[in-house]
Amino acid sequence: MEYKKHIMIIYGTEPYVMEDGRRRFLAAANKRAGGEAEVQSFQKDAVAATVVESFQGASLFSSGTVTIWYDCPFLPLKRGGRSRSKLTKEEQWFLDEARRLSDENSLLFYTKGKMDTGSAFFKALKPMADVVAAEAVTEKTVMPYVTDYLKGKGKRLTSRAVAYLRALFQTWGDISLLYVFSELEKLCITVPDSRQTVDVPDLQDLFAGTMEKNLFTFMDEFLRRNGDKTLPFLEGLFSRQDAFLKNTGYMLSRLRLLLAYKELRRAHAGQHQCEQILQTINKGRSVKYVLYHLQKVASYWKIEELESCICQIFTLQLHIRRGMASPEDIGPLICLYCR
């Protein structure tokens, strides 16, 4: 994206997107200035008149300046309640001065956190500025970043690879784009330059060692009832109570999907109907790869076994919350259903 306005607002909680926005804005500012612009930074407690003096003044060392105001108090974070609907005299004066920004100078507001976009100052400033809202990346929003990154490297994912990554990212809580891109960089090194497509086997070594990837692999092996490959993951995934509750919650979600799939197949439901119902059970998340995987593991389980396993895991969760059991008790339960 090319930033053409001389003013930018960057806010949010995703560091990579925020830094990428700042980098692109500085590059555009240097281009407008005809060289490397002088950067002057101010913190939250800066006096507004000093900031104005910075972006209105001429640099002695370059042809333009970039003024960065971090955590500007005129642009508060959203903390609940109603947004302030009127400008103060100081805010109005600041906006009037910003409108007279010269062609060589640029002004950047940079705030970490969720900004109150309903405030009077934000609404008045927005028409003059480019805005980067760096919202936290989730499993629902990460894939466009992945596909765009690979496109820039001359690679593209197969449909099976897209489905595989969607299923993998569903095990994640917070998703760091910096980490994702560093893993994709490794992928691009290992995939030959002559090959443009990236398929599932190319992805299976990515994110190795993370709890999310371990949980994904553990569940894959558990659904195949493979004890030899399942048991080594138990201590890392379930030894802490907070991790235990989160990870058994993921187990239950996969087991419920498998149970629902087997019941739908017993009722002779078609593929499209299965996908629609399973997506509803999966809280609206895509189930294309999940469905493909369920078809591979469905033969390992009977409906009665799935019902029993779900009940036992739920009961163990309840007992742990009441202090009547230990996370270590997951071991015998897993062994019970492995071969």
Alpha-carbon distance of 21 to 207, in angstroms, equals: 26
Identify the CATH number of the domain defined by range 7-134: 3.40.50.300
- State the pLDDT at residue 27: 92
For residue 1, what pLDDT is reported?
Answer: 57
Q: Which position has the higher pLDDT, 243 or 287?
A: 243
Q: Residue 58 above 70 pLDDT?
A: no
Q: What are 7's strand-pairing partners? A: 107, 129
- Token pair 């640099």: residue: 59
62 class by beta-carbon count within 10 Å (0-12 exposed, 13-18 middle, 19+ buried): middle
pLDDT confidence bin for 62, thresholds 50/70/90: low
**Full 3-state SS string of 227-277:** HHHHHHHHHHHHCCHHHHHHHHHHHHHHHHHHHHHHHHHHCCCCHHHHHHH
pLDDT at 116: 95
pLDDT at 59 over 80: no
Give the pLDDT confidence score for residue 306 in this predicted structure: 96
Tell me the domain boundaries of the chain. 7-134, 137-208, 210-339
3-state per-residue secondary structure call for the chain: CCCCCCEEEEEECCHHHHHHHHHHHHHHHHHHHCCCCEEEEECCCCCHHHHHHHHHCCCCCCCCEEEEEECCCCCCECCCCCCCCCCCHHHHHHHHHHCCCCCCCEEEEEEEECECCCCHHHHHHHHHEEEEEECCCCCCCHHHHHHHHHHHCCCEECHHHHHHHHHHHCCCCCCCHHHHHHHHHHHHHHCCCCCCEECHHHHCCCCCCCHHHHHHHHHHHHHCCCHHHHHHHHHHHHCCHHHHHHHHHHHHHHHHHHHHHHHHHHCCCCHHHHHHHHHHHCCCCCCHHHHHHHHHHHHHCCHHHHHHHHHHHHHHHHHHHCCCCCHHHHHHHHHHHCC
pLDDT band at 2 (very low <50, low <70, confident <90, very high): low
Supply 250's token pair. Answer: 């993921």
**What is the CATH T-level fold of the domain 137-208, as seen in this structure?**
Helicase, Ruva Protein; domain 3 (1.10.8)
Q: What is the pLDDT of residue 174?
A: 73
Q: Which CATH number fits domain 210-339: 1.20.272.10, 3.30.70.20, 3.30.360.10, 3.40.50.1580?
A: 1.20.272.10
pLDDT tens for 256-314 read 999 999 999 999 988 888 888 988 888 887 777 677 778 889 999 999 999 999 999 99
Mean pLDDT of the chain: 90
Tens of pLDDT, residues 102-133? 888 999 999 999 999 999 999 999 999 999 99
Q: List, for residues 156-208, the tens digit of each pLDDT value.
A: 999 989 988 988 888 787 788 988 998 999 899 889 888 999 999 999 888 87
